[in-house]
Structure 1
Amino acid sequence: MVRALPVFLFSFLLSITCLQAQTSSEPLVNQYLEQAKNLMYEGKYQDANVVFRKMLALNTTLPEDMSYLFAETLYHLGQHKNSQNFLTKYLTLTGRAGSYYEPALELQELLDVAMRAVTNCRFCNGAGFRLVDCTTCNQEGTLDKTCPNCQGHGRTQCQKCYGEGVLVSLNKLGTRQYATCDNCDGKGIHTCRVCVGTKVISSPCPTCLGSLKLRS
């Protein structure tokens, strides 16, 4: 009979497991942080944003400085509300002792200006952007193009009889014999399996990705 572990022992083992997982991910966290800082220094904020989100996906304890650096990155990408959230988190965690305290105050001033501009904007009603109709697909969400499988004919040649409708074979005497192609019923063609005879195929609009609207 298997005995259940006491609750305190189970909790102790669980805490050790979590600590080991956190320790094992620490080198990767530091690697990501340095990579993101270098990208920020080069002005590649979109790439830095990708790296920061990889850090968040690790689901582990992250350095306090990451909150400020991510906030600065988001500010440069125009994501002011998200930037404010991470900046507030940084100042709450570190206060005046934070290594980025002075830059954080400067960033807060920039965010205050940006947020006021958004709040007072009569065009976007405080959203920071407007939705306009997609002109690429004319609000259809999809674009039609000629089917590449049948080249816009709606039909394809039978690959068994090569469009002849009959199959030719030699009997034992070496004489040719003919039979109706059982693959196309003697028609020599098939309805295109890709466009199902419509001659075109539809794909999501590459501009609005099927949403019909664009941010402006």
Structure 2
Amino acid sequence: MKKWFFIIFINLLSLNLFAQNKTDSLITVYLQEAKILISRNNFIEAERTIKKVFDTKSVLPDETVYLYGITQFGVGNYKGSITAMEKYLSLTGKKGEFYTEAQQYIKDAHCHESGYYEAVELCDMCFGSGDEEAPCPNCRGKGKILCTVCKGSGVNRESKSYGDSFHKCSKCEGSGFGNCGQCKGKGIVHIACISCQGSGKIKVRKKCNK
């Protein structure tokens, strides 16, 4: 019984592998066909071909989304092209084979759609550092706070049987103040830049060149 079960399992596994290999081969053929159609500026047929790839409901190569973005640009669906290219960039990051090309398509699609495109530049408020100086909230920018031992009096009182004795506070040496622990006595702290939220970069809208 175990022997027959094993044979059936192996046969089913072989059938699944065969079906998967057949699907992978079909995807390769479709993508190659789409590339040829794109090179001929036949974007409508290329779009239909890529949709056949999507219909396989298999794990697809990353370039599938990129090629689909090209077809959307070619047929004038600029929003669709932007969505596809942004999806490609989110999947592959800067290491993607078509990273530069995808960014250019996004820029061009924005230009065709609105006459403007988004560019990423260094933040002009923090000069790309991502942070900015602000008065320390703990000491209000003074760099000093009341001594935590003598509470600002500069002296310590010691009660004894014959009365109280007073002597200079050993922590602040009689000044009544000490360095602020939050800013280390500098009076300023570094906080995330409010303009770029600490990234050092901002998105700006630029007019496209005609």
Please indicate the TM-score interval, normalised by the length of the shorter structure: 0.3 to 0.5
**Relative contact order, higher structure (CA 8 A, sep 6+):** 2
Bigger radius of gyration: 2
The alignment's TM-score, normalised by the length of structure 2, stands at: 0.45
The alignment's TM-score, normalised by the length of structure 1, stands at: 0.44
More strand by share: 2
